[in-house]
Amino acid sequence: MSHAHTPAVFFLEGLSDSLKAIAEKVRNGERITPEEGIVLFEQGSLGFLGSLANVIRESKHGHATYYNRNFHIEPTNVCVFSCKFCSYSRLYAHREEGWELSIDDMLNIVKKYDGQPVTEVHIVGGVHPKMDIHFFAELIRRIRAHRPDLHIKGFTAVELEYMFRKAKMTVEEGMSYLNQAGLASLPGGGAEIFAPEIREQICADKVDGDGWLNIHRTAHQLGMHSNATMLYGHLEHYTHRIDHMNRLRQLQDETGGFNCFIPLKFRNQDNEMSHIAETSVIEDMKMYAVARIFMDNFPHLKAYWPMLGRQNAQLTLSFGVNDLDGTIDDSTKIYSMAGSEEQNPAMSTEELTRLIRQAGRTPVERDTLYNVVERSA
């Protein structure tokens, strides 16, 4: 028997029959059902879940842990939507408290990285009524003209749905238009929790779960890749988490266009849900482990280190995670404004690779599509 299987066998003693059956499925590379996913959340100990997730992680990736060199542009934090968990945006009515960048402002951010070995720019922000699809297409064209090798990943399905609706374009027309301008892939944001009864309570006015899935399906059909997220640790139950992951897993069966799944921890500072306690580190690790076990057709599981903090991000590498995102510079305010562990989320490549090595893993630089980036020393 190969050494990769030993942890799963090791934990079988004293387990319920249902957990034993799940462990057996994982060892045989079989898919677990949504009902079994709920059993994992409700009955699986942290050690058991971690060992199963690690078997899957190592069978897919060995010790390789990916990171990329990226930077963020946040065009605005002014937003027409009012999501209760958001500590970042300022409603359009109070926009004097927010920021709005022009195309030149954003191009100047890109130019700051001239001559530096970044491979990706990540563009995401609030939903601003004056920043329409043509504004963003022009931005993308200018970035592409300035630096053709830079992969442009941008706009959550929430931003896109609003742009398309305002432009009176179908999802297909809107996605094609941006893709032709040079938009290469979509981030996973705005998914939150698909279950309508929870979405209604936390972000009632923005695109629903079906709309989110349809935008990503359309991007995949155009040959674009995307990521997927889930906001956990607020009003949802385990059933809602599994439902969310199951809907993503079904779309991935259909299109194969998702690169990676990113569980995002709800943070309670300065928002309308600050009365809700945040999840414990144990619950966070269970979330990553169950995600790795359940999302069998997603190649990568990412922990977003600015939100978790460095030490906890390091810990996730033992619970199924094989990607720690990017070096990010100090260019994203979304989580620092919500009270994340990292108030100034910048990490040099040296710091990030050291963090990975300390966890007994091997750092591997990737581009947005997980091609390994070879650099001469």
**What does the pLDDT read at residue 98?**
80
**What does the pLDDT read at residue 309?**
84
**42 and 89 inside one domain:** no
**81 and 9 inside one domain:** no
Question: What does the buried/exposed string (b/e) look like for 308-318 if buried means 16 or more CB atoms within 10 Å of the residue's CB?
Answer: bebebbbbbbb
In whole numbers, what is the pLDDT of the chain averaged over residues? 90
**122 and 15 inside one domain:** no
**57 and 85 inside one domain:** no
**15 and 76 inside one domain:** no
**What does the pLDDT read at residue 97?**
74
Q: From CA 319, how far away is CA 284, in angstroms rounded?
A: 10
Distance of CA 247 to the CA centre of its chain: 16
Within-domain flag for 372: no
Domain that holds residue 337: 64-365
Within-domain flag for 71: yes
**30 and 123 inside one domain:** no
Within-domain flag for 370: no
Q: Tens of pLDDT along the chain (377 residues)?
A: 334 444 444 557 788 999 999 999 999 999 999 999 999 999 999 999 999 999 999 999 999 999 999 888 999 988 888 888 887 666 756 767 788 999 999 999 999 999 999 999 999 999 988 899 999 999 999 999 999 999 999 999 999 999 999 999 999 999 999 999 999 999 999 999 999 999 999 999 899 999 999 999 999 999 999 999 999 999 999 999 999 999 999 999 999 999 999 999 998 888 889 899 999 999 999 999 999 999 999 999 999 887 888 899 999 999 999 999 876 554 444 444 444 454 455 678 888 899 999 999 999 999 999 999 988 65
Distance of CA 57 to the CA centre of its chain: 17
| Three-class secondary structure of residue 63 per DSSP | coil
Residue ending a domain, among 61, 78, 96, is 61
Can you spell out the DSSP letters for 7-43?
Answer: HHHHT-TT--HHHHHHHHHHHTTPPPPHHHHHHHHHH
**235 and 361 inside one domain:** yes
Tokens of 252: 């991935």
Within-domain flag for 315: yes
Domain count, the chain: 2
Q: Using alpha carbons, list the distances in angstroms from residue 35 to 8, 22, 248, 249.
A: 20, 11, 16, 14
User: pTM of the full predicted structure?
Assistant: 0.91
**85 and 113 inside one domain:** yes
